[in-house]
Amino acid sequence: MASNLVCKIHPMVLFSIIDSYERRNEDAKRVIGTLLGSYEKGIVEVSNCFAVPHNESEDEVAVDIDYARSMYELHKKVNSSEMIVGWYSTGSEVSVHSVLIHEYYSREAKHPIHLTVDTVMRGGKMNLKAFVSTAIGVPGKTTGTMFTPASVDITSYDPEQTGVEVLQQGKYKPKRQVSIQSDLIKVESACTKLRQMLQQVLEYVDNVLAGKVQADTTVGRFLLDLVSSVPKIDPEEFENMLNSNMKDLLMVVYLANLTRTQLLLNEKINSIPA
């Protein structure tokens, strides 16, 4: 039985979890941490997190609660809108000790989620699973906790998406290094990618009209929304607007380079002994 709750994870959360796993102690089998974000109408959006020190053995588990609370108070000073929405742990399964840890977060959040991140990369993929707890048992007698799976989606802000696209370029390079491109090169790359996508759309439409490909109503709705969203503008007016914006961009780049050169000259002059 699955929960109706939807958990949306931002890329920065995954990077932080992987970083905490790589920095763990040699004897630690997994790492845990607090998830921060927002909750609204059955959707939990996890936008931040931090690791929490803990000791774990086969018989017991100890979590540094004071550290977790102090870190949360520091995060609130930076972003007061983020609240505790659950906790994470590395690994692919829910352990026995997860129930004890989840009880603590149940006191910090109303409906906390438990996110598991498979850092072992089984099958060449980092699997993500989210769970919510449900109390089971007979009232007044033996009770327990059941973890119910919830849906997991990856979402991102525009700056995060840009950063992820830059990082993805590193997997095609032997040294896994990526250099930041200039603004003009980014504009050129974006235009080239947009042109390729438009070419694919035109080929698909031509194939549908020619009867080579069966029409898809879902794709048709997306294309209709795309065409409707394009503003109707005169070609000459559009060209003038584009040229004007390009001139503004070149002016900003020129002023930025000029300012950088001026700062370098001032540093060189100040470093000369009197």
Does 262 map to a domain? yes
Segment 139-146 shows an average pLDDT of 67
State yes or no: pLDDT of 18 exceeds 70.
yes
88/215 same-domain check: no
Question: At 208, phi and psi to the nearest 5?
Answer: -65, -45
Q: Are residues 238 and 224 in the same domain?
A: no
Residue 22 lies in a domain: yes
Detail the DSSP E strand segments found in the chain. Answer: 6-9, 32-40, 43-52, 54-56, 61-63, 83-90, 113-117, 128-137, 143-154
pTM: 0.66
**Do 251 and 199 fall within a single domain?**
no
Say whether pLDDT at 141 is over 70.
no
Q: What is the C-alpha separation between 187 and 248, in angstroms, rounded?
A: 14
Of the listed ranges 78-82, 119-123, 191-195, the one predicted with least confidence: 119-123
**Same domain for 143 and 35?**
yes
| Selected residue with higher pLDDT from 123 and 23 | 23
Backbone conformation region of residue 91, classed left if phi is above 0, alpha if psi is from -120 to 50, else beta: left
| Model confidence pLDDT, tens digit, residues 177-186 | 777 767 777 7
Is residue 171 one of the residues assigned to a domain? no
Residues 76 and 187 in one domain: no
Which of the four pLDDT bands, split at 50, 70 and 90, describes residue 71? very high
pLDDT band of residue 35 (cuts 50, 70, 90) is very high
Same domain, 100 and 31: yes
- The answer, yes or no, to whether residue 46 has pLDDT greater than 70, is yes
Question: Which string of DSSP letters, residue by residue, matches 140-165?
Answer: TS-EEEEEEEEEEEE---HHHHHHHH
Q: Is 17 contained in some domain?
A: yes
Q: In terms of domains, do 272 and 187 share one?
A: no
Rounded CA separation 76/72 (Å): 6
> Is residue 108 assigned to a domain?
yes
Q: Is 164 domain-assigned?
A: no
Same domain, 103 and 29: yes
**Same domain membership, residue 63 and residue 37:** yes
In a domain, residue 165? The reply is no
Please tell me what DSSP assigns to residue 179.
P
Residue 206 sits at φ, ψ, to 5 deg, of: -65, -40
Same structural domain, 13 and 81:
yes
User: Is position 105 within any domain?
Assistant: yes
CATH number of the domain that residue 47 is part of: 3.40.140.10
Counting the structural domains of the chain, the total is 3
Burial of 155 (C-beta count, 10 Å sphere; 0-12/13-18/19+): middle
Is residue 39 predicted with pLDDT exceeding 80? yes
What is the domain extent for residue 205?
181-230
pLDDT in tens, 202-251: 999 999 999 888 888 888 898 888 888 877 778 888 788 878 888 888 88
148 and 221 together in one domain:
no
pLDDT at 1 over 90: no
**How far is the CA of 38 from the CAs of 73, 155, 249, in angstroms?**
16, 13, 37
Q: 81-134: per-residue pLDDT in tens?
A: 899 999 999 887 777 788 888 888 888 888 888 898 888 777 777 788 888 887
Separation of alpha carbons 35 and 75, rounded Å: 11
CA-closest candidate to residue 81, choices 34, 48, 114, 51: 48
Same domain? 57 vs 191: no
